[in-house]
Amino acid sequence: MRVYIKTFGCASNKAESGLIRKVLIKDGFEFAPSAEEADAIVVNTCTVRKETDLRVMKFLSKIKDKKVVVTGCMAAAQPALISKYYPTVSIVGPDCPAMISSALRGDGRSVFLMKDSLMMEPVPFRHGVKSTVVVSRGCLGECSYCIVRVAKGRLRSISPDVIGKNVIKAVRSGAREIRLTAQDIGVYGMDIGSNLPSLLYSLVRVDGYFRLRVGMFKPSSVIGFLSRLAEVYKSEKIYKFIHVPVQSGSNTVLERMRRGYGVSTFKEVVGEFRKCFPNITVFTDVIVGFPGEDDFEFDETCELLEEIKPDKTHVARYSPRPHTPAASMPQVPEPIKKRRSEVLHRIVREIQMQKNERWIGKTAEATVVDLYVRGGVIARTDEYKTVAIPGGNRSLLGQRVELLVEGATPFYLVGRINRR
């Protein structure tokens, strides 16, 4: 039987698709290069937003006369929705990838929805010279809007030894950018007597040339060891990059979100890293139109972004998710959410353009990590700035280069390689 895996969602999902592939190869399955050429399709789903649900359902609607197994977050959090519209597809929860083989080989429909079982040992997901290494699943948060915690469950950290072996394996196979991923990497190890700084100290001792990109963390998750975390970031093997979602600039909205921190904590985390690394790249996330958000609370978010000036901000309109407290709160009308989203996007683009224009005329060391869709290659500076290099060729992948930044957009820099 030839199988095709379709993956939706985050880096963790891509890594988990790698684990599914490993399991299926061990069980004797072959893989097809496309859905059309496959006998069966495994759909690894995401359900973080309604728009993603619709993309998954649209993909399922196009599959005809093939065995289908749906796994991932949507299978865990919304199996009834899948069953309602596609009653013949098999459903396997993300905690039991070993059962996908049984579902594929079974004569009829199979449903396996175990939760909080022991995780199978993860494997690094490799894409060119980039590799994703999962460090934990689940979180310790109680966010009122989040369905992912329903799907992923409570925190389950992977042992530092296993993570270390996966980083070594990735580096030896040619990876130059190692992405450490989790739902909230800041709480890593709290269930096994470890923590994020300890993990990073062990990983930067791995031999070889590579850079670690540390995944997303909540401000409250790292405040207890903030100075120690900033200290390990001094290693040249860690990108000077943080992804700290604030979600709102209003403390009253953050309380309704049950985020577990206030705006001052977010500022403290960003401030500490900028004090140690003035050029550090800061990513954040904002939800616009959260239930009950009024004009004053929205203005507080705009003012926070103008003050902090993140290098990149992902703006998302609030999307009610089933099984979450926020879905039953008074909702902000869609036209207001749309208008506020447009305002925020304008602010974000202006900030990002200002930040990127400061790089024009500067030289920087960078690692070539990807091909550029418009021709050429993509490099990452040590601050994790994206630099498009028109005219660069595939042979540069994985190489360390010196760049001159010649242009900028709100989303990336444009440069050329300095010839020595």
Q: How confident is the model at residue 122 (pLDDT cuts 50, 70, 90)?
A: low
Write out pLDDT tens, residues 316-371: 999 999 989 999 999 999 999 999 999 999 999 999 999 999 999 999 999 999 99
CATH topology for 363-417?
OB fold (Dihydrolipoamide Acetyltransferase, E2P) (2.40.50)
| Neighbouring residues of 255: CB distance < 8 A, sequence distance ≥ 6 | none
Please give the structure tokens belonging to residue 87.
């009653």
Q: What are the Cα distances from residue 197, in Å, to 22, 95, 138, 215?
A: 30, 27, 19, 13
Write out pLDDT tens, residues 157-214: 999 999 999 999 999 999 999 999 999 999 999 999 999 999 999 999 999 999 999 9
Q: How confident is the model at residue 262 (pLDDT cuts 50, 70, 90)?
A: very high
Domain ranges of the chain: 2-112, 125-357, 363-417
Q: Rounded CA gap, 270 and 197, in Å? A: 17
Q: What pLDDT, on the 0 to 100 scale, is given for residue 394?
A: 86
CATH topology for 2-112?
Rossmann fold (3.40.50)
* Average pLDDT for the chain: 93
Least confident piece of the model among 72-81, 109-118, 164-173, 231-240 = 109-118
- The secondary structure element, H or E, covering residue 137 is strand 136-137
- The answer to whether domain 125-357 and domain 363-417 are alike in fold is no
Q: What class, spelled out in words, does domain 125-357 have in CATH?
A: alpha beta
Q: What pLDDT, on the 0 to 100 scale, is given for residue 125?
A: 73
Beta strand 111-112 pairing with 90-92 = parallel
Q: What pLDDT, on the 0 to 100 scale, is given for residue 116?
A: 45
| Average pLDDT rounded to a whole number, residues 20-30 | 90
Positive or negative torsion for Cα 289, 290, 291, 296 = negative
Q: Kindly state the DSSP code that residue 292 receives in the 8-state scheme.
A: T
For the chain, the C-alpha Rg in angstroms (whole number) is: 22
Q: How confident is the model at residue 121 (pLDDT cuts 50, 70, 90)?
A: low
Q: What pLDDT, on the 0 to 100 scale, is given for residue 67?
A: 93
> Taking 70 as the threshold, does the pLDDT of residue 390 lie above it?
yes
Chain Cα centroid distance, residue 387: 20
pTM: predicted TM-score of the whole model, two decimal places? 0.90
User: What angle is formed at CA 404 by the lines to CA 399 and CA 410, rounded to 5 degrees?
Assistant: 100
Backbone dihedral region for residue 230 (phi beyond 0: left; psi -120 to 50: alpha; all else: beta): alpha
Q: What pLDDT, on the 0 to 100 scale, is given for residue 140?
A: 93
